[in-house]
Amino acid sequence: MTDRYAVFGNPVSHSKSPRIHALFARQTGEDMSYEALLAPTDGFVAAARAFASAGGRGANVTVPFKEEAWRLADRRSPRAEVAGAVNTLEFGPDGIFGDNTDGAGLVRDLKSNLGCDVAGRRVLLLGAGGAARGVVLPLLLEGPEELFIANRSAEKAARLAVEFARLPGCALPVKPQGGGFGELAGASYDLIINATSAGLQDARLPLPLGIFAAGSLAYEMLYGRDTPFMAQARAVGARVADGLGMLVEQAAEAFFVWRGKRPETGPVIAALRQP
Ligand code: ATR
């Protein structure tokens, strides 16, 4: 029998995940289906449980349900535990397992697809919401020289940095710092990751011109649009990447959780980039 998977979100019709997982399944010969399921904003838990009862084996979870998915899981991976959000669920006989593959997806895209090592680099993470929170630990574990979290609400970034600097049971090689955009004056970074949602409103971030070091990479977590952040980086000669690679890599990591196989992501990223 074909194993069923799905992505839950609201909205969800735009999701590229069904196409990505169909390509992974074809490539690896796995007998599985994957569909996009719209859950009402107040009905995610009921929809996920109904899907599991009907034989669903696992699911991805996207906006706005990642925190609810975290609470729904009976067991969680350490990386999901600290992220406070779950994007991958597995329904098994011993309950619901929750994982978060977003950070691993980002790090893999940076290292394998873009040739950008995080180790020893000065890294700036823009934003302190759910998208930023999910990638802090995987970035720190790579051993950057420095990680600064900058956010419009400075307090939120400072709190996030303190939280990760004090993670119990985790001797991190570097402690993150956090604050407002004003604190960036005079600083420059090798890797600047935009995890804010400013691009969705075409809003420009108040970044000082010198923030992009020579040879730096500007990484926009959004995809499918050219954001003001990307334009700002391009204007000063920085390398620019969007979040499509991260999307495919987090999916590959979820596929591995479910099927124990690592699909090749290069051809899938290339297929998605076709107009
Ligand atoms: P997500 O899950 O996408 O991270 P979120 O938790 O609502 O969504 O967080 C949105 C992030 O984008 C926040 O860091 C937010 O900054 P504030 O905490 O100050 O609200 C940031 N953001 C959204 N619009 C922005 C804008 N126009 N300029 C700067 N930052 C913005």
Query: pLDDT by residue (tens digit) across 129-156?
Result: 989 999 999 999 999 999 999 999 999 9
Cβ atoms of residues 34 and 73 within 8 Å: no
12 lines ligand 1 (CB under 6 A): no
Task: At 22, list the tokens.
Answer: 């169909």
pLDDT digits over 44-86, tens only? 999 999 999 999 999 999 999 999 999 999 999 999 999 999 9
Give the residue, out of 196, 207, 220, 247, with the most ligand 1 atoms within 8 A of its beta carbon, to mutate for a pocket test.
Answer: 196
Cβ atoms of residues 136 and 164 within 8 Å: yes
Beta bridge partners of 2: none
Degrees, nearest 5: CA angle 26-36-106:
70
pLDDT at 238: 97
H helices of the chain, in order, are: 17-28, 44-53, 66-72, 78-83, 102-108, 130-141, 154-165, 228-235, 244-259, 266-273
pLDDT at 170: 73
Helices and strands counted in the chain (H then E): 10, 12
pLDDT at 101: 98
Cβ atoms of residues 150 and 215 within 8 Å: no
Tell me how far apart the alpha carbons of residues 91 and 98 are, in angstroms, rounded to a whole number: 9
Distance between start and end Cα atoms, the chain: 34
Cβ atoms of residues 124 and 193 within 8 Å: yes
Task: At 39, list the tokens.
Answer: 């859950």
Residue 240 C-beta-side C-alpha neighbours within 13 Å: 17
Give the residue, out of 106, 136, 184, 197, with the most ligand 1 atoms within 8 A of its beta carbon, to mutate for a pocket test.
Answer: 197
Q: Which atom of ligand 1 is nearest to the CA of 195?
A: 4
pLDDT at 275: 83
Q: Is 186 helix (H, G, I), strand (E, B) or coil?
A: coil
Q: What region does 38 belong to: left with phi over 0, alpha with psi -120 to 50, or beta?
A: beta
Please give the domain boundaries of the chain with CATH numbers for all domains. Answer: 3-100+249-273 (3.40.50.10860), 103-242 (3.40.50.720)
Cβ atoms of residues 148 and 123 within 8 Å: yes
Q: Quick check: is 156 catalytic?
A: no
Q: Which residues of the chain have pLDDT under 50?
A: none
